[in-house]
Structure 1
Amino acid sequence: MRLDNWLIRARFCKTRAHAWKIMSGPGFRLNGRIVSKAHTRVDIDDIIIMYLGPNLFEITISFLPDRRGSPSEARTWYHCIDLHTEADKNP
């Protein structure tokens, strides 16, 4: 499955353009590598590190959906390994 499509279906973004903006932003990694193409393939157990606003997410893909799901359903398609928020920087 394409990385941009997975980000949309898992509800991290609404459009492919927004998915590309996230992927090309600072700190985005797929399995420790910088992503240079939106059509990069992802699979189960791949690890994504990305910034969404001030929050840094580290997630593992656990399901490859064939459609965009509800928010509660989409949350079951990945496991959050780590989450760093802006509050973590300023205790």
Structure 2
Amino acid sequence: MKPERQRLDKWLWFARFARTRTLAGRLVSDGFVRVNGTRIEAPAKALAVGDVVTVAAAHVTATVRVVDLGQRRGPAPEARLLYADLSAGEDAAGGP
């Protein structure tokens, strides 16, 4: 049976927003992640399908909708199936 919720840090790692789960936890605890518009500081925050996650990394901000909860950290094409990119239309060309 598939879980209905997953830890935020684990999902960020599965979805390849961080290279390690430790770094995913640090992104959250340092205040660089929002879920449904609210800044989250607890890496153990429960995440569900349909939640909107915003990650403000060093050079890019990504806004995604959770489509699936991961079972493992797989290759990048598999990781992209876990979310729908909502920020693609904002700056997809890479320019102003």
Structure 2 length normalisation: TM-score? 0.79
For 1:5 and 1:28, the matched residues in 2 are separated by 13
Cross-structure match for 1:57: 62
Structure 2 stretches lacking a partner, 5+ long: 1-5
- Corresponding residue for 1:18? 23
4+ runs deviating over 6 angstroms: none
For residue 4 of structure 1, what is the aligned residue in structure 2? 9
Answering whether residue 29 of structure 2 is matched by residue 29 of structure 1, we say no
Contact 2:33/2:54 (<8 A) preserved: yes
Consecutive unaligned residues of structure 1, counting only runs of 5 or more, are none
Which AA in structure 2 matches 1:24?
A: S
TM-score, normalization by structure 1: 0.83
Matched residue, 1:70: 75
- Sequence identity, in percent? 28
Deviates more, 1:2-11 or 1:25-34: 25-34
Match of 2:46? Answer: 41
Shift of 1:26: 4.9
RMSD: 1.8
Q: What's the CA shift for 1:25?
A: 3.8
Query: For the residues of structure 2 that align with 1:21 and 1:69, how far apart are their CA atoms?
Result: 21
Question: Using a 3 Å threshold, how does the CA distance of structure 1 residues 11 and 27 change in structure 2: closer, same or farther?
Answer: closer
